[in-house]
Amino acid sequence: MYQIDFHTPSHIYFCGIGGISMSGLAEILLKKGFRVSGSDMRASSLTEHLADAGAQVYIGQKAENITDDIDCVIFTAAIHQDNPEYMEAERLHLATLSRAELLGQLMLNYACPIAVSGTHGKTTTTSMLSEILMAADFDPTVSVGGMLHSIGGNIRIGNGPHFVAEACEYTNSFLSMYPKVGLILNIEEDHLDFFKDLDDIRHSFRLFAQKVPADGLLVINGDIAKYEQVIKDLPCRVITFGTDSSNGYYPLQISSRGERGMAADVMTPDGAVTISLQVPGRHNIYNAMTALAAADALEIDREITLAALHHFEGSERRFEYKGSFNGVTVIDDYAHHPTEITSTLTAAADCPHRKLWCVFQPHTYSRTKALLDDFARALSKADAVVLADIYAARETDTLGVSSRDLCDRIQALGTECYYFPDFTSIEEFLSKKCIHQDMLITMGAGDIVKVGETLVQK
């Protein structure tokens, strides 16, 4: 594997530079004096920011973008071997690294790398822990998979020894990381276009846990089925959190304050503390418990930790208030897995509203097909559901599944459900159907956020 010399800046090219993670890594290298170039299929605020910071950004991926003065080309899992830039890099015999391999090499430059993994909750928990480290004046470097308002984006470059990053299991990316502190929030079926089944996923998390050194720490959800298989004979310290007293951290009681957030009395190894959050949803109490456990292990003062959690205002696309139209409250959320959908709609149920509308854009054909009935049950927690076409992302094969199939399943459960093939039709329908005091949630990992933004701007 090619090793980047971070003491001797070179020319690094990012294929897919506008991605949320790739753009952050590109910015880190820019700040370290590297010459950075790259391409993306479309311009965005992230590509514009990088161009302003000194990167050479190409819109459109073409073979001519790859020149022989490039020292290394970085690819994401979404780039296939028939990509023209990939093919040209191969033809020129240029060194290549995956995004995860670059992130892993960056981690080695820090005394305390922290990797946050799990099927759900990575962005929020990474953001919470980052807020705690900043409040404690640890001056961390942060790479988060969403836009965090307190750092003005998805990246923060600090001078301290801590590097906090999300660790995604897809294509086993997180196995390229070198965490001193590892967090495992949950393990569920997902990315079944790569993994064979849940046991295969659990095995990968086991390999991730084994990356933590003997003098390191693993914080893991003790409610994970067969979690003992993940932690068996690990040399590092292991701390668990979960729903009951078999764990080191668990809630004594949880209460909702509606749109004003959540509160919980949480038992820790040192006694009970009260967590107060400004973000809604029971799931966020568990995210906060994970961050608290990690912060305790890093010997951060409890008062600082609890204050940072209380002041945390969420990150972009995580139950984010977008505005209103005709007295209708518009929320946007990144949820694209049945468990995430259930958590988000449960949180919404605690907020004042007349009727709860969920506009959902399924993400990838493989996920939709594998979890079709689970999606139907989760979405049925809304009063009414509106479906957009499936967002294909990296996939080209429809696998014989469509949003119409999901619509049929939801209607069979007795929930009001509609399907429209384009955003304009969805917006016209909602502008007529949603009335004063309704709540509308746009939901999914694609571009469904545009529907709510358009309605708010009208």
Is 123 one of the annotated active-site residues of the chain? yes
Q: What is the total residue count of the chain? A: 458
The answer to whether 439 and 353 have CB atoms below 8 angstroms apart is yes
Looking at the DSSP assignment, which residues form a beta bridge with residue 59?
40
CA distance 351 to 348: 5
Is 47 one of the annotated active-site residues of the chain? no
Q: How many CB atoms lie within 10 A of CB 274?
A: 12
CA distance 200 to 72: 32
The answer to whether 118 and 185 have CB atoms below 8 angstroms apart is yes
Residues 6+ apart with CB under 8 A from 261: 276, 277, 278, 279, 280
Is 166 one of the annotated active-site residues of the chain? yes
The SS3 assignment for 406 reads helix
Please pick, among 27, 119, 122, 305, the residue that the annotation labels catalytic: 122
Pairing of strands 153-156, 262-268: unpaired
Please pick, among 123, 126, 240, 364, the residue that the annotation labels catalytic: 123
Residue with tokens 């358009």: 454
Tokens read off for 302: 């409890």
User: Which residue type occupies 91?
Assistant: R
Please pick, among 27, 101, 166, 169, the residue that the annotation labels catalytic: 166
Give the catalytic positions in this structure: 122-123, 166
